[in-house]
A and B are shown apart, each in its own frame.
Chain A
Amino acid sequence: MNFWTPVDYIIKLINPFLNPIFNMFDLKKIKTNRPAPAATNSFAQEAERKAEESWYFALSDTWVLIMRSLKHIFKNPDQLLAASVQPVMFMVLFGYVFGGAINTGSINYINFLVAGILVQMAAFGATTTSLSVATDLKRGIIDRFKSLPMLSSAVMTGHVVADLVRNLMSSFILIIVAFIMGFRPVASFTDWLLIIGILLLFTLALSWVSAIMGLLARSVEAVQWFGFFLVFPLTFASGAFVPTESMPYILRVFAQNQPVTHVIEAIRALMIGTPMGNHAWLSIVWCIGIIIVAVPVASYLFRNKSTQ
């Protein structure tokens, strides 16, 4: 009986429940008794030194792969273009093409539009993960990572974090363009922080779904359909560009209750002071719910990819 006995007891008790989860994330198993080294030949020492599993290495692997994905943003012209030119095009095209024709009542259309475009752009930005994961699989980089004594699923975390950073960059550019076009928000500093928070949470959720799509896709080309089948309907059948009241009944019921609309309406309410209603907490619940499901599914698929 010593100081740690209660801790050991609790760990023993919850161990059977925790291990499947830790396995899923490929992290260190909680072990109450450390096993003796299995081999005593000349390779054993080498293996002991490098294969040491720990949270430190899990974090350092994740960090290394985040830096890798971040470098991709600036070294891959496609990604840099998507992050910088796309927001300008979206804002200018939607603002001036639809601006005169859509009736948003007493609200100025540019003011109405910014929240919608911001979220649509974030949604498309989040699909980059699926493309990156599919490309890594195809090129064999994921096989290489899996043959290393590392937390290989961190490759997905890297791409997801890159989505967050890229979306922050393009959101910033979009807001500046919007200001030039006459956007006049009423948001306070705290409101802006909340807007950024919701936008990042939304990106995070969609990026993990995106990682699943990247793992399931049979080819890099097939991944493109992910944007087409999921992001297009979700962002257009929403309150992004037009008030949902103008839609036919069935579409309106869908548009008014799907998560993307909640995210858009929550951000819009914070930006220009439209009624908040339940949008804020519903969008947060949706995003967290999606993350809770998507992360373990992505990790499971990643582990079992080509190891049958």
Chain B
Amino acid sequence: MTDAIVIKNLTKSFKNQKVLEGINLVVPQGKMLALLGPNGAGKTTTIRILSTLLNADGGQALVGGFDVAREPKRVRSIIGLTGQYAAVDEYLNGRENLEMMGALYHLGKSKIKPRAQELLEQFDLVEAASKPVKTYSGGMRRRLDLALSLISTPPIIFLDEPTTGLDPRSRILMWDIIKKLMEQGVTILLTTQYLEEADKLADRIAVLDKGKIIAEGTPTELKSRVGSERIEITIDHKSDFKKAVSLIQGSGLRQNPEERSIGISTDGSVKEIKRVLDILDGAGIEIDAMSVHTPTLDDVFLHFTGKETNNITQ
């Protein structure tokens, strides 16, 4: 099997800030790799280098066997890019956007119209096809944006945070579309801040933090590396929250004051669960809900970085 994307020791700095500090990745043909990390980790920079929009400082990136720096035109002809912001033409309608993109991809004239129609149907945009894009909702824009990058049926697709800012319904619709693409044997590199998304969709996950890959493996592998069960507790009263956190302590403690939830790693034994509950009960702190579950990728991130996925705004 050929490797669709090969990244070797890729580095990139903006002014004095190092954005990528030597990244190595391989995506086999027909597989999906999710690049997981918080804002500012270097996800978009990686995608921009792979899609020939940005030159790397060092290292090498091969897409479809072509060096992105040496043969950008060949790379461009086999990729589809969906960026973080829906890059669609506001004043044209959905169909015009698709047909324009088809012409710019140099599809034959006879192929453009049927392909545009096919994508409109596939992405649930037939009704909106003749309306200007500026009247579209956020979810419709994203769908059109993805449809635009698929007009030439590219074998390799880059999806840069395709569901960021979408409502749950649109997100699920987007996931279905991405799953269908994978069934068609397309190679996908997806970036996401949503651990659930990477877990659900990807064959492999690379965790990116501050320009370095801190962990890589299948979703199951990554989760098993963290090793233990987790207890998730929701405190009833907000006023009790700080007290509860200071009382519980424990390894891999994670707190979310807004949702009044506390998570800790345990061995999953009844004894351990009872200990935690006894502490809270003794202090007169009421519990709203409690659950025991296998680690999520949020926990994975915490495990590998030793910190929360505190997103810094770009």
Contact = CB atoms under 8 A, between A and B. Distances in A.
A148 B104 contact: yes
Contacts of A143: 48, 53, 81, 83, 87
A49 B76 CA distance: 12
Contact of A47 (B53, B64, B104, B149): B64
A46 B91 CA distance: 32
Interface stretch (B66-74, B212-220, B270-278): B66-74
A43 B104 contact: no
A150 B79 contact: no
B152 A68 contact: no
A85 B74 CA distance: 47
Contact of A46 (B78, B89, B90, B101): B78
A150 B66 CA distance: 17
B76 A148 contact: yes
B76 A149 contact: yes
B136 to A, nearest CB: 13
> Looking at A43, A65, A72, which has the most chain B CB atoms within 10 Å of its CB?
A43
Interface string B124-138: 000000001000000
A199 B239 CA distance: 73
Interface stretch (A56-64, A98-106, A118-126): A56-64
A148 B85 CA distance: 17
B49 to A, nearest CB: 10
A147 B64 contact: no
Interface in B93-116: 96, 100-101, 103-106
A43 B78 contact: yes
Interface in A278-308: 306-308
Interface in B39-94: 48, 51-55, 64-66, 71, 73-79, 81, 83-92
Contact of A144 (B55, B81, B152): B81
Contact of A150 (B84, B90, B105): B105
B155 interface: yes
A144 B77 contact: no
Contacts of B132: 75
B89 A141 contact: yes
Contact of B54 (A57, A67, A141, A306): A306
B66 A39 contact: yes
B2 interface: yes
Interface string A143-174: 11111111000000000000000000000000
B26 to A, nearest CB: 14
B102 to A, nearest CB: 9
> Looking at A42, A147, A150, which has the most chain B CB atoms within 10 Å of its CB?
A147
Nearest to B4: A43
B244 interface: no
Given A43-B64, A64-B103, A51 B52 contact: no
Q: How large is the interface on B (under 10, 10 to 19, 20 to 34, 35 or more residues)?
A: 35 or more
Nearest to B151: A148
Contact of A140 (B71, B74, B85, B101): B85
A68 B89 contact: yes
B66 A141 contact: no
A146 B89 contact: no
B234 to A, nearest CB: 40
B148 interface: yes
B228 interface: no
A61 B91 contact: no
Main DSSP-derived SS at the A contact region = helix
Contacts of A308: 54-55
B294 interface: no
A116 B4 CA distance: 60
A150 B104 contact: yes
Contacts of A34: none
Given A57-B106, A149-B77, A150-B104, A38 B66 contact: yes
Interface string A54-85: 00010011001101100110011000000000
A145 B104 CA distance: 8
B65 A64 contact: no
B29 interface: yes
A147 B100 contact: no
Nearest to A37: B74
A41 interface: yes
A67 B96 CA distance: 11
> Looking at A41, A50, A141, A149, which has the most chain B CB atoms within 10 Å of its CB?
A149
Contacts of A38: 65-66, 71, 74
Nearest to B67: A38
Contacts of B55: 307-308
Contacts of B106: 50, 52, 57, 60, 149-150
A41 B79 contact: no
Contacts of A71: 91-92, 96
Contacts of B103: 60-61, 64
Contacts of B73: 51, 53, 149
B52 A147 contact: yes
A44 interface: yes
A140 B44 CA distance: 13
Contacts of A144: 81, 83, 87, 148-149
Given A47-B64, A139-B85, 16 more contacts: A41-B2, A43-B2, A46-B155, A50-B77, A53-B73, A57-B106, A64-B103, A64-B104, A71-B92, A139-B87, A139-B90, A140-B87, A148-B76, A149-B74, A149-B76, A150-B104
9 contacts: A41-B2, A43-B4, A43-B66, A43-B78, A47-B74, A57-B106, A75-B91, A140-B87, A143-B83
Interface of B: 2, 4, 29, 48, 51-55, 64-66, 71, 73-79, 81, 83-92, 96, 100-101, 103-106, 132, 148-149, 152, 155-156
